[in-house]
Chains A and B, each alone.
Chain A
């Protein structure tokens, strides 16, 4: 192995961050303005967007990045106050918005990269930084992939400050803990960790802290990066963290003792630890009344079973257990599949893949074209393929139902998982019929029982079985019945309310 590595020319990799780590040490500020300026220019590789301005007859030097800083703020905070002063005595302390004083030039450069303006005074070995960061944000619109009928229509944006603001506005409590981490050794991305101090399991917080500190990647582009670095079982098809863009969702998860991770530059929050059930709950279940909520919940869980088993079930029946079909149905089904040249497994696979093609094409194209793809793909191909005698009618019905069922899942990640699981199910059904389905389902179930996310059993509350927590799974009992939080997170304080409908008894 060592030889091979040598052969491939793998070098000691301690040097690779040499060129940007050099801001770590300190650098004295020169009392000559031009020296400082040329040092900054050299450090930043002579950027074209670096603005420099000599003020007060060359006694002061103002430096900022015009692409990061707001011109108006610079004018208002630095240039105007300075212009009111006497040329001979520049008193930073007298200014309305005092700048921060630094003696380390490298620290100044770091601030410069955040959009601050630097002010050097001739003859003094110090600089002043003024916050003039420009803020460009889109509005807090409803996320397109997590729409609700009723309830809050706010969604996260790409700015972590605004996102945490949205949470803080909802939870006015001293209990809400916010921790920042700098992740990404080259990009220095801000990662925020939010949790309720008195609810979240300290063990989970500790694990998360440890795993975040382990990340040595130089860039963090999205929460997806963080997720892959910190998840427990990368080989599992099931997502072990919930992605959401909804502040109200994050709030309710925080209140169940879970932890939210947010990444600067992305509107997605990661929730952990989660259970399978979390992917089937939506804010809508709780925004409406409990009967409607329960009904929707049941439909959604039914969709899970349909999406995973229906095509496999049908394939098994056609290929192995034709006697399973009741007498009255035998003739119509036989008529439909009689002239088909291919075995059911091929039929099923071809149709499943066609639907995936249509879906993927629809996602990447602009909306009007996407709709056209849907019509061309869905209606025309579906109709023509039956007329051409390639695929049977019943198979189209089965696969279309499956596709719709797989899109019912509120979470996009889980929806993909469900669609991936279809393949092993169909294959095992085509190989061994019902026996194959039983074995495949057993292995999926065992996998779910084995899976843990930050120490939380993934398949809770079914396995381990907790009777009194089943009330928020198949059905959603009235809010005033849910006196306790789910215990899967090892939440510190289980009770969440006393008797909220006590007035009925008085």
Chain B
């Protein structure tokens, strides 16, 4: 317990869940429907499978370097110079993703809850919250993520209410879209459940056997995939195909029609809770970026010193697209395209290198089995 930064595997589980569930959930059903039609839920399952493969790749890579962060692995495998360049790439990726999360979030809040509030206010508050949590250590993040995971149960229950008016005939015929359409729908779906890349950075801080780590991360991925599939199925069944083309954030449109005896607008509750999930995704990217920059300045132990500067930068970047919805969505597309490279491409490449050149950490720690 004395070594400041370590987290348990249970905490890792919640970290991954909270990192994966984020901005994407709102428009997920719309996006997959756009390409895969009523088979969007199959796309989601396929996407979950693809992510699982990526998780295994990252895990195999990290297992060979059980006590080093991503940034450390990079400079070990690629040498100091190229390593530093790729490191900077990761830094930009983390920062840019965080900024994209901020921008999309501000846009949604503006559209749905606070139309008259300038969107930078929301981004500013989010940045402030992120800075506040990231100046703590990883354990604070893990504790916070674990506590707010209770809220996911509420999200689940609220969504379930949609079953009352679901019409499952909308899901048939199953498989009509065809394999290619389903696959390209899966690409859209992958974007919504990114976030597992945190394993690259926090692997060395997790206690226990590496097989346990894989189990916990896979379980988290499975749960998130199922939860997303569930929301997709409900929205697909709730809206007719013609309606679904018109509603870019179907889940909120659906919730908006419900009325409970105690409160009339379920969508407000949903969005307030969703805001927390977005915040957690934002926080984890900010945290990883601060770890990375601290590593590059050889101050790995004092990442908190960089957090305020980094937060300020992310905030400014998030303001670039302004109020233009198209630019915001372009920004999030860039971020997602980057993420394919940085969460799947590069780790796979690194893994191959490390096998080819038989580079691995000396088994001093010997926590592998």
Q: Does A221 make an interface contact (CB < 8 A)?
A: no
Which residues on the B side are within 8 Å of A443 (C-beta)? 129, 132
Q: A434-B268, A443-B132 are known contacts. Are A464 and B142 too (CB-CB below 8 A)? A: yes
Q: Is B148 in contact with A445, judged by CB distance below 8 angstroms?
A: yes
Which segment of A63-71, A76-84, A317-325, A413-421 sits at the interface?
A317-325
Interface pair B265/A324, CB less than 8 Å apart: yes
Q: Does A446 interact with chain B (Cβ within 8 Å)?
A: yes
A432 touching B275, Cβ below 8 Å: no
A358 to B277, CA, bound (A): 41
Q: What total of chain B residues lie within 8 Å of the partner, measured CB to CB?
A: 39
Task: Please tell me if the beta carbons of B121 and A432 are within 8 angstroms of each other in the complex.
Answer: yes
**Least Cβ–Cβ distance between B280 and chain A, in angstroms:** 9
Q: Once the chains bind, are A442 and B276 in contact (CB under 8 Å)?
A: yes
> Is B143 close to A, CB under 8 A?
yes
Tell me, rounded to whole Å, the shortest Cβ–Cβ distance linking A172 to chain B: 33
B264 surroundings in chain A (CB, below 8 A): 323-327
A465: chain B residues at CB < 8 Å are: 10-11, 14, 143, 146-147
Known contacts A434-B268, A464-B8; decide if A326 and B263 are in contact (CB<8 Å): yes
Contact A326 to B147, CB < 8 A, known contacts A446-B140, A490-B1: no
Chain A CB within 8 A of B113 CB: yes
Interface of A is mostly: helix
Would you call B122 an interface residue if the criterion is a C-beta within 8 Å of the partner chain's C-beta atoms? yes
Residue of B nearest to A466 (CB): B10
Number of A-B contacts (CB under 8 A): 95
Measured in the bound complex, the distance between the Cα atoms of B340 and A458 in whole Å is 40
Say if the beta carbon of A394 comes within 8 Å of chain B.
no
Q: How far is the CA of A434 from the CA of B136 in the complex (A)?
A: 26
B144–A326 contact, CB under 8 A?
no
List, in ascending order, chain B residues with CB within 8 A of A449's CB.
Answer: 133, 136, 140, 143-144, 147
CB nearest neighbor in A for B144: A449
A435, A447, A463: which contacts B272 (Cβ < 8 A)?
A435
CA distance A462 to B143 in the complex (A): 8
Interface: A437 (CB within 8 A)? yes
A108 within 8 A of B: no
Chain A residue at minimal CB-CB distance from B279: A442
**Surface stretch bound by A, among B34-42, B225-233, B254-262:** B254-262
User: For chain B, what secondary structure do more than half of its interface residues adopt (helix, strand, loop), or is it mixed?
Assistant: helix
Within 8 A of B (CB), among A453-490: 457, 459, 462-465, 490
Q: Which residues of B, 1-43, contact A by the 8 Å Cβ criterion?
A: 1, 8, 10-11, 14
Q: How far is the CA of A490 from the CA of B2 in the complex (A)?
A: 11
Check B133–A446 contact: CB distance below 8 A.
yes
Near A by CB (< 8 A), chain B positions 94-139 give 109, 113-114, 117, 121-122, 125-126, 129, 132-133, 136, 139
Q: Which residues of A contact B109 (CB under 8 A)?
A: 435
Task: Give the most central of A325, A439, A442, A464: most B CB within 10 Å.
Answer: A442
Residue on A with the closest CB to B148?
A445
Cα distance A432–B118 in the bound complex, in angstroms? 11
Are B129 and A464 closer than 8 Å at their CB atoms?
A: no
Q: A435-B122, A449-B143, A465-B10 are in contact. Are A320 and B261 (CB under 8 A)?
A: no
As a 0/1 sequence over residues 147 to 160 of chain A, the CB contacts with chain B under 8 angstroms (1 = contact) are 00000000000000
State whether A437 touches B117 (Cβ < 8 A): no
Give A432 to B147 CA distance when docked, in angstroms.
24
CB-CB under 8 A for A434 and B147, given A443-B132, A449-B140:
no
A450 close to B (CB within 8 Å): yes
A462 touching B147 by the CB < 8 A rule? Answer: yes
Mask: chain A, 300-328; 1 = CB below 8 Å from B; 0 = not:
00000000000000000000110111110
Chain A residues lying within 8 Å of B273, measured Cβ to Cβ, are: 438
A433 vs B148: C-alpha distance in the bound complex, in angstroms? Answer: 20
How far apart sit A464 and B147, CA to CA, in the bound complex (Å)? 8
A439–B114 alpha-carbon span in the complex (Å): 14
How far, in Å, is A130 (CB) from chain B's closest CB?
52
Determine if B275 and A435 form an interchain contact, defined as CB atoms under 8 angstroms apart: yes
27 A-B contacts (beta carbon < 8 Å): A321-B265, A321-B268, A326-B260, A326-B261, A327-B259, A432-B114, A432-B121, A434-B113, A434-B268, A434-B271, A435-B109, A435-B114, A438-B276, A442-B276, A442-B279, A445-B148, A446-B132, A446-B136, A449-B140, A449-B143, A449-B147, A459-B143, A463-B146, A463-B147, A464-B8, A465-B14, A465-B143
Given contacts A327-B259, A438-B273, A438-B276, 17 further A-B contacts (CB under 8 A): A320-B114, A321-B265, A326-B259, A326-B262, A432-B114, A432-B121, A434-B113, A434-B268, A434-B272, A435-B113, A435-B122, A437-B272, A438-B272, A439-B125, A439-B126, A446-B136, A465-B147
